[in-house]
C-alpha cells in the first residue's frame, strides 16, 4: 500500500494513542507466569503483540476477552505445553522472539521458535549463550546463534553472565523468568547495557506483580530470589513511542498537540523525546487534558545520545531536517539490528528527499536547513513501522511524500493512518 501524505502548515489537535507495545508485551508474559488470573485493560492488539498472545496460547496459557478486557490465567511459573514439541512463528517481532526464548526454557518439552527472514538475521547470540550456560538445551536449525532454534529446559537458575548485551531485550527476557527459577537468578552484565529505560520498565512491571529484587543503579547486577508473581488487575498506559509522531507533527509545523493518555512520570523510554524537542525550541506541559507540546518556527539542531531511545532516532532525524544547524545523533550502533538497518535506511531516504545526512562514528549527522531545499519522493519503509511513521511527519511540510509499504504500521499501531488523517489533517 502506498500512502500519500497531505501537507498541513500548522497541526493542532488532541489524540488518544493505543496502549504501549512495550508494556503490553511485558504484561502478557508476566501474567502468563503469575499465580491466579490477571485482567489487563487497554491491551495493544498489534501484529507483534498478537504474535506474543498466540505463542503463549500454544504453550498452554489460557486467555480470553471479556467486556473489552483481556484475562490471563497464570501458570504459577510452570510452563507445560500441551504437545511434546510446539512450533511457534514470531514474524519479525524481536520482543516476542527474545522473551519467548527464556519463557520456553521453563518447559521440559521442546519449543521450536522461528519467524520471517529478517528475524533470522537479528542478534540472538548472547541470550542463547546465557540460556545454554543455564543448562538449557538449544539446537540451531539453520545459522548458529540465530533463529530458528529448538529450546528445551527446564532452566533452574543460578548465575547468568553477559559479557555484553547488544539488546536490552536479552536482559528483560531473563529478568522476567527469574522469579520462577528454582534457585532464583543472579544476573551480571560486564558492559553497560543499551536502552536502560526498557530494563527499568521491565523491573517496574515485575514490581507491580509483587516481585522483590535487587539491582544496582547502573543495571549491571541483578539478584532475584525465587517467588511467585501475584495476579493483578492492571491498565496499559498509552504508547509514548506512538505519541512521539504526533508531538513531532506539532514541532515541525509550529502547532500544538495534546496526547491524553501518556504521562510525564511514565517509565517508557520515549517519554524523554519531549525533552529533546524542548531543547530544539519547543515547549511542553502537563495540563488538564494531557501532555501538550507546542512547536516552534525556530527549531535548532541538537547533539544527543540516543542510546536509551533507539525507536525515536528516525523521528528525531526527520524533525532535524526542519531545524537550523547541525543535529548529531550519537551512540546508536545497535539500530543496525532493528526491524531493518535503521541507520542505512535513514541515510537512503533522507538523501532521497534532498536532506543532508552522513554517517559518523557510532551515529549520524544531519545538516538542518529549516526545511529549505527538501522535495517530495516515494519513501521506502523497508517494512519498518518506525520509518513509515517518521516520514509521515516530513510529509506535513514537504509536498509529494509517498510512503511505500505503509501497511507496516500494523506492527505497533494498526490504526495509525486513520488516526493521523483525523488528527493531523484537520484545519484549525
CA proximity to 148, closest of 97, 79, 93, 96: 97
* Contact between 19 and 418 (Cβ < 8 Å): no
Contact indicator for 201, 23 with CB cutoff of 8 Å: yes
CA distance 1 to 227: 48
Residue 49 C-alpha cell reads as: 503483540
Cell numbers at 283, concatenated: 515547549
* CA-based max dimension of the chain: 62
Q: Is 137 a catalytic residue?
A: no
Q: Which residues of 72-98 are buried (b: 16+ CB within 10 A; e: fewer)?
A: bbbbebebebeeeebebbbbbbbbbbb
What is each CA distance from 169 to 98, 138, 165, 248, 262, in whole angstroms? 6, 18, 9, 26, 23
> What span, in angstroms and rounded, lies between the C-alpha atoms of 427 and 242?
22
**Residue 148 near residue 111, CB atoms below 8 Å:** no
Q: Rounded to an integer, what distance in angstroms lies between the CA atom of residue 391 and that of residue 353?
A: 10
Residues constituting the chain: 428
Residue among 311, 341, 384, 415 flagged as catalytic: 311
DSSP annotation of 206 reads: H
Helix axes 21-33, 94-104, angle to 10 degrees: 10
Residue 421 C-beta-side C-alpha neighbours within 13 Å: 6
Catalytically active residues are: 311
Amino acid at each position: 500500500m502506498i500512502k500519500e501524505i497531505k501537507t498541513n502548515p500548522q497541526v493542532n489537535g488532541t489524540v488518544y494513542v493505543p496502549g504501549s507495545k512495550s508494556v503490553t508485551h511485558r504484561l502478557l508474559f508476566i501474567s502468563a507466569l503469575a499465580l491466579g488470573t490477571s485482567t489487563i485493560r487497554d491491551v495493544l492488539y498489534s501484529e507483534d503483540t498478537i504474535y506474543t498472545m498466540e505463542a503463549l496460547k500454544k504453550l498452554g496459557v489460557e486467555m480470553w476477552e471479556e467486556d473489552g478486557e483481556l484475562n490471563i490465567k497464570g501458570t504459577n511459573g510452570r510452563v507445560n505445553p500441551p504437545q511434546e514439541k510446539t512450533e511457534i512463528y514470531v514474524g519479525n517481532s524481536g520482543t516476542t522472539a527474545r522473551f519467548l526464548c527464556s519463557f520456553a526454557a521453563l518447559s521440559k518439552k521442546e519449543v521450536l521458535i522461528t519467524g520471517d527472514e529478517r528475524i533470522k538475521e537479528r542478534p540472538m547470540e548472547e541470550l542463547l549463550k546465557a540460556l545454554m550456560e543455564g543448562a538449557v538445551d538449544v539446537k540451531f536449525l539453520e545459522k548458529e546463534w540465530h533463529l530458528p532454534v529448538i529450546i528445551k529446559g527446564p532452566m533452574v537458575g543460578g548465575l547468568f553472565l553477559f559479557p555484553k548485551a547488544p539488546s536490552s531485550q536479552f536482559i528483560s527476557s531473563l529478568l522476567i523468568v527469574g522469579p520462577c527459577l528454582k534457585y532464583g537468578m543472579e544476573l551480571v552484565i560486564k558492559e553497560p547495557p543499551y536502552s536502560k529505560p526498557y530494563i527499568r520498565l521491565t523491573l517496574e512491571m515485575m514490581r507491580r506483580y509483587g516481585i522483590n529484587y535487587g539491582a544496582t543503579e547502573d543495571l549491571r547486577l541483578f539478584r532475584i530470589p525465587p517467588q511467585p508473581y501475584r495476579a493483578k488487575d492492571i491498565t496499559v498506559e498509552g504508547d509514548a513511542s506512538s505519541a512521539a509522531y504526533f508531538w513531532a507533527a506539532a514541532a515541525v509545523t509550529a502547532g500544538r498537540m495534546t496526547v491524553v493518555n501518556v504521562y510525564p512520570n511514565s517509565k517508557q523510554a520515549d517519554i524523554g523525546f519531549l525533552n529533546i524537542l524542548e531543547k530544539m525550541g519547543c515547549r511542553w506541559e502537563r495540563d488538564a487534558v494531557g501532555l501538550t507540546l507546542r512547536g516552534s518556527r525556530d527549531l535548532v539542531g541538537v547533539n544527543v545520545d540516543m542510546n536509551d531511545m533507539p525507536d525515536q532516532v528516525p523521528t528525531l532525524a526527520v524533525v532535524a531536517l526542519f531545524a537550523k544547524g547541525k543535529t548529531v545523533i550519537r551512540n546508536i550502533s545497535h539500530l543496525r539490528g532493528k526491524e531493518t538497518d535503521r541507520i542505512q535506511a535513514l541515510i537512503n531516504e533522507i538523501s532521497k528527499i534532498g536532506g543532508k545526512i552522513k554517517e559518523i562514528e557510532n551515529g549520524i549527522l544531519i545538516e538542518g536547513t529549516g526545511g529549505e531545499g527538501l522535495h517530495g519522493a516515494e519513501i521506502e519503509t523497508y517494512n519498518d513501522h518506525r520509518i513509515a511513521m517518521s516520514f509521515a511527519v516530513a510529509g506535513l511540510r514537504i509536498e509529494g511524500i509517498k510512503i511505500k509499504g505503509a501497511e507496516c504500521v500494523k506492527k505497533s499501531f494498526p490504526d495509525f493512518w486513520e488516526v493521523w488523517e483525523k488528527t493531523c489533517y484537520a484545519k484549525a
